[in-house]
Chains A and B, each alone.
Chain A
Amino acid sequence: MDNFSDLLALSPPGWGGNLLMGLLHTVQIAAGAYGLGLLIGLMGALGKIHGGPVLRWGLEIYTTVIRAVPELVLILLLYYAGTDLLNALRESLGLERVDINGLWAGIYVIGLVQGAYSTEVFRGAFQAVPHGQVEAARAMGLRPLTVLRRITLPIMLPYALPGLSNLWLITTKDTALLAVVGFSELALETKQAAGATREYFMFYMVAGGLYLALTLVSSLGFGLLERRLRRGQPTQM
């Protein structure tokens, strides 16, 4: 067995640098996808609560299908469908075909999947907002957007946060699936390092450790955030 510190050295022939670059890509994709997912989720929840029948049905189909089909299948479907649609659009505009860059494709694919889950989280949290608060705000003459920004969102966030922190942890782990489609994030970099050196066990353990560190740091951050957002709420017994 080779020396571990040689194999994990930051510069080639060591693989440490590749793993850290992979981790960076993982964090980038996860953060982008999470942001996109939150945006879709917020819109989706508002649409499900206030939208007309067509919008509500559309959103219902979106969240049900996405949550019933395995992520791996969705990632492949969305990836191919996304690139095809984009290229069809570009051709109709007289532009050249393009290959979508791995980072953006990953963000778009995982974000669309996470959007379905966060729609449900936000919907539950919106419904936990006491109706009287919204009525009071309306009676004060606030416009709908101002009600959302100043009343509904701040009251709703503490209810949504446990679900949202769970979703972030799921998002970071879902990015590993992109390795199957060939995006170079941590899982794929690890697979290549392990294959090249034949030190499978060691490299997968190291990758597991890096993912675990990411999870633990995130949980810590969400714990702090939750404490801050819960200021002024009655403490639970």
Chain B
Amino acid sequence: MQWYWLPDYLPRFLEGILVTLELLGLSIFFGMALAIPIGLVQVTGPWPLAWAARLFCTVIRGTPLLIQIWLIYYGLGSLFPSIPGIRETMIWPLLREAFPYAVVAFSLSVAGYEGEVMRGAFRGVPRGELEAARAMGMSPFTVLRRIWLPRALQNVFPTLAGEFILTLKSTPLAATITVYEVYGIGSIVRQETYRIYEPLLFVALIYLLLTFVMVIGFRLLERRMPRRTA
């Protein structure tokens, strides 16, 4: 084992950790923003919407994330330049970077898996509570905002926490489309130093620590949640 390279590359690993966390945070944010409506329409929505949401979840959960990432980056990315006039628009600089494609791919993946979780969560809230809220004269949207959504999230929080950790563990796939997060930096070190094990072990250690921090963080959050003791 030789670790002489570590001090030189440490700053780049820190940058890589930031990229990983940024990718993870954005994907969870956009993914959950999509997952909540996707779960909701499957419980109360009109059938075409419910059906479309169901199809979306099945497709996302039934195909490898790697294929989804490549489809969005190489597939969509190769179609965009052929749209006339797109190079003059504001979004063109974004379309040439890899990072936005990674965020889109990971957000859709989070939306698919968590949409399924949210479907069960919305269904699991006791009917009586929603009826009581309606009887108090709340509008449907207020019921959702004050009763249905908080109760649903509270019930599945441990499940969601586990799923977000799985998302963290899938972020190295972004390195395959040239997003240099922790794993990507590790590959650079491997190419430049010709060491096989040490960079990989160091990358594994970083992920172990990140997972550990996330587990502790979610546990603290969970403890702060009000929980009715029967």
Whether A68 contacts B64 by the Cβ 8 Å rule is no
- List the B side residues contacting A45 at CB < 8 Å: none
A208 near B67 (CB under 8 angstroms)?
Answer: yes
Instruction: Bits for A66-107, please: 1 = Cβ < 8 Å to B, else 0.
Output: 001111111011001100000000000000000000000000
Within 8 A of B (CB), among A170-224: 173-177, 179-180, 187, 190-191, 194, 198, 200-202, 204-205, 207-208, 211-212, 215-216
Q: Let me know if A176 and B183 touch, CB within 8 A.
A: no
> A73 near B75 (CB under 8 angstroms)?
no
Interface string of B40-80 (1 = CB under 8 A from A): 00000000000000000011011111111011001111110
10 A-B pairs with the lowest CB-CB distances in the bound complex, closest first: A201-B75, A176-B64, A215-B62, A204-B71, A200-B74, A173-B64, A70-B169, A68-B211, A212-B62, A72-B172
A136: interface (CB < 8 Å): no
CB pair A77 B64 closer than 8 Å: no
**B 191-205 binary contact with A (CB < 8 Å = 1; else 0):** 000001100110110
Q: Contact between B78 and A68 (Cβ–Cβ < 8 Å)?
A: no
Whether B200 contacts A77 by the Cβ 8 Å rule is: yes
Spell out A's residues near B (CB within 8 Å).
65, 68-74, 76-77, 80-81, 169, 173-177, 179-180, 187, 190-191, 194, 198, 200-202, 204-205, 207-208, 211-212, 215-216
Complex Cα distance, B77 from A198, in Å, reads 12
B-side contacts of A191, CB under 8 Å:
70
A212–B62 Cα distance when bound, in Å, is: 5
Nearest CB on A from B209, distance (A):
9
Instruction: Assess whether A200 is in contact with B64, with CB atoms less than 8 Å apart.
Output: no
**CA–CA, A169 to B67, complex, Å?**
15
- Would you call B75 and A200 a contact (CB within 8 A)? yes
Q: A176-B67, A200-B77 are in contact. List 18 more A-B contacts (CB 8 A).
A: A68-B207, A69-B169, A69-B207, A70-B169, A70-B171, A77-B200, A80-B197, A81-B197, A169-B62, A173-B63, A174-B64, A201-B76, A202-B75, A205-B71, A212-B59, A212-B62, A215-B63, A216-B58
Residues in A with CB closer than 8 Å to B77 are 200
Is B78 a contact partner of A208 (Cβ separation < 8 A)?
A: no
Interface size on B, residues (CB 8 A): 37
In the complex, the answer to whether B78 meets A200 with C-beta atoms within 8 Å is yes
> Which of the residues B65, B171, B208 comes within 8 Å of A173, measured between beta carbons?
B65
Q: Does B170 contact A (CB under 8 A)?
A: yes
Whether B59 and A208, one on each chain, are in contact in the complex, defined by CB atoms closer than 8 angstroms, is yes
Any A CB within 8 A of the CB of B176: yes
29 cross-chain CB contacts under 8 A: A65-B208, A68-B207, A69-B207, A69-B208, A69-B211, A70-B171, A70-B172, A70-B183, A70-B207, A73-B200, A73-B207, A77-B200, A81-B197, A173-B63, A173-B65, A174-B64, A177-B66, A180-B66, A190-B67, A191-B70, A198-B78, A200-B77, A200-B78, A201-B79, A204-B70, A205-B71, A208-B68, A211-B63, A215-B61
Please indicate which of the listed interface residues A70, A80, A169, A180 has the most CB atoms of chain B within 10 Å of its own CB. Answer: A70
Cα A208 to Cα B76 with chains together (Å): 14
A166 to chain B, nearest CB (A): 10
Majority-rule SS of A interface residues: helix
Chain B nearest CB from A71 CB (Å) reads 7
Residue B153 at the A interface, CB < 8 A? Answer: no
B63 near A212: Cβ-Cβ < 8 Å: yes
The contact string, 1 if C-beta is below 8 Å from chain A, for chain B 148-179, is 00000000000000000000111111001000
Cα separation A208 to B75 with both chains bound (whole Å): 12
Q: Is the CB of A179 within 8 A of B74?
A: no
User: Quick one: which of A72, A201, A204 contacts B67, CB cutoff 8 A?
Assistant: A204
B212 within 8 A of A: yes
Task: State whether B204 touches A69 (Cβ < 8 A).
Answer: yes
Contact among A68, A180, A201, A216 with B176 in the assembled complex (CB-CB below 8 Å): A180
Are B78's CB and A211's CB within 8 A? no
CB closest residue in chain A, given B78: A200
Which of these, B75, B197, B207, contacts A204 with CB under 8 Å?
Answer: B75
How far is it, in angstroms, between the C-alpha of A212 and the C-alpha of B75 when the chains are bound? 18
A194-B169 Cα distance, complex, nearest whole Å: 27
CB-based contact B74/A194 at 8 Å = yes
Q: For A175, what are the chain B residues with a Cβ–Cβ distance below 8 Å?
A: 64
| Alpha-carbon distance A216/B66, docked complex (angstroms) | 19
